[in-house]
Chain A
Amino acid sequence: MPTVMLRKFEKVCAIIEKYGNDPAKLIPILQEVQHEYRYLPEEVMIFVATTLGMSPAKVFGVASFYAHFALQPKGKHVVRLCDGTACHVKGSDGILQALYKKLGVDAQKATTPDMLFTVETVACLGACGIAPVMVINDVVYSQVTPERAVALVEEIAMQEGAGHVSA
């Protein structure tokens, strides 16, 4: 949708303006920009840098320092698996490996080529009582098993009409 991209760009301009073009506000600016694009595209970071009168290397330095900034586009559905101590002890790693295998991704290449899924690990979601915990698009699933995780992902893939996932 073309108008979506225009709206996003206008939003970026508005965000920068809202923070008074102040380089000291880089982090909140990047946060809001990421909210628009769901990650920080290189060209958008260059635009932010030039508009704030900062060096693009500095902006990239900040963006790449904080774990919550995404430098790569994420899939439509983001699967986050808790890897905190409690979840780890309860076998979260087995779930992770099952998901990696199912979707053909890994820690470096976390997004499927069709941009449908991204698999991430997070450090403790604060729900250790119901470990292991998995979150798909903000919906929390408790006491997950590898089988259940795969089944959940398959279900979404079916809805999306991406039958190839069940390979």
Chain B
Amino acid sequence: MATNEQTAIIELKHIDKHFGSLHVLKDINLTVHKGEVVVIIGPSGSGKSTLCRTINRLETIDSGEIVIDGDILPQEGKKLARLRSEVGMVFQSFNLFAHKTILDNVTIGPREVLGTPKKKAEEEAMALLKRVGVENQAKKVPAQLSGGQQQRVAIARSLAMHPKVMLFDEPTSALDPEMIGEVLDVMTELAREGMTMVIVTHEMNFARRVADRIIFMDEGRILEENEPEAFFSAPGTQRAKDFLNTLKERDR
């Protein structure tokens, strides 16, 4: 799935971050290329979410540099908002806008941020809702949908902005088991179509299937970075071995 063109979409350079005295990100260096699917795994509290959220500055960083498609991520203002609009984000808890219909959830970004006319935004939104399989829910409000449906709408909402890259922070962790598949299917499809993706997940089979690269994090550091087959069959560090073993225990 990796493309030959090696355009960097995300570059993280020497990122450090503290929460108070807690050092959550330690000298993180990571480059994600166009069309690449990078899956971040690691034990709870290792900093995966924080890393993901620094990429569109939902978390600030102490030092280092973040470059999105050649532009340094600014600290504030209109330019930050513009760069954020190019980076889609899908959250564990969906975060659909509770007071808006499903259709409005998908059109509000293009209309408010890109200035897309209502009619065009709605046409595109309906096409996207169809693509994720919830087009017949367009007039409902989020609370009327199942978790799996809500998360698929959230993906459609992100896609409506035509992002250059999409971030997923444990998109299936809040879902009942029978709904996980439908969301992973949508994501697999996206990956197949060449979307650049950074995914934090505990779904190892999915990771193995879609990832071009696995990043293993522990205690705020990237400990390993490898292709899925190599990583899963022969992890290079004891920490990664232990982590994979606990997962196996859990799934048993």
A and B from one assembly?
Answer: no
